Amino acid sequence: MTGTTKKETKPSNAACAECPTAQPHPFRQRIIFVSGDKGGVGKSTKTQALSNNLRDRGYSIAVIDTDTRNPDVIRMFEGVVPTAGINLRKEDGWMDVIDFITSHPDKHILVSLPAGIGESMCQGMEFKEFCMFFDKKYSDETRPELVLVWVINLFIDSVNLLSKTMTAIGDKFQKVVVVRNLVFSDNNPDLFQLWNESPLKKDLESKGRGITVDLPALHLRTMTRLFHEPEDLMPFSEALKQDEIFQFSKAEAFKLEAWIHHVDDGVAKIRDFVGLEN
């Protein structure tokens, strides 16, 4: 497991001198699992987009990438925020996740999950014991909240896999965010009919447990510039400042800038729904 930390400036939590009865508000950590349990739905890219936005907005974050075959999330954020690469298919994988989370109690943790991990999470004991750790070792006031961010495409598998996950382990997550990955629909959310009309969507949203958010596609030409050389990968907002590396045309740079702005519209809904704190 690897971790690299960049010095951060944290807001002061000191009580106002003119308000002696004020008490510091304890930081409530969120553990955000980005999944979809299918290859190719955009889990890594959406984890990168979410992490980039939260960092831009001043949130203190750390990132776990469990895709050991193609760890693009670590490649983008290593050296910028604390990161770890963890293999959840190893016997001690979930133990490593616990150790990383507890070593960064002042940060929200984003966990990019690999394709196909859902079966072991739903049927095995390791994830259940992971959740049990936080139930046993924390009070109700300090226990980190678990959030599931589920990335979907247009097809029924995305909905069915989420339904199976909610049936098996849905009670482990305090909030559920379904992300319509608009790369599959030419940025048209209405094409996600199977999710839009699903009873599961209605149930989650009517109970206040879930929301649906749209995250847009980044233009392929700009994406190709960004990901052409893996060793040059960096957070999207930082890439805008590195023209000598990426050599964006004016149109490509504008597309990236506009995309970052549109992502903020979607992530703002996630931040508010989850109740993220600095």
Per the CB < 8 A criterion, the answer to whether 35 and 113 are in contact is: yes
Could you give the CA distance from residue 223 to residue 142 in angstroms, rounded to a whole number?
40
Between CA 114 and CA 88 the distance in angstroms is 9
Contacts 24+ apart (CB under 8 A), 226-235: 226/256, 227/72, 230/72, 230/75, 233/72, 233/75, 233/76, 234/76, 234/80, 235/48, 235/51, 235/52, 235/55, 235/76, 235/77, 235/80
Q: What are the structural domain ranges in the chain?
A: 30-274
Q: Indicate yes or no: pTM above 0.95.
A: no
Q: Quick: pLDDT tens for 11-63.
A: 444 434 444 444 456 789 999 999 999 899 999 999 999 999 999 999 999 99
For domain 30-274, the CATH class is alpha beta
Q: Which of 25, 28, 5 is nearest to 15 (CA)?
A: 25
Q: How far apart are CA 212 and CA 23, in angstroms?
A: 35
Rounded CA-CA distance 53/179 in Å is 15
Task: Return the percent helix, strand and coil in the chain, to nearest 5.
Answer: 45, 15, 40
Residue 198 or 70, more confident: 198
**pLDDT tens-digit series, residues 123-168:** 999 999 999 999 999 999 999 999 999 999 999 999 999 999 999 9
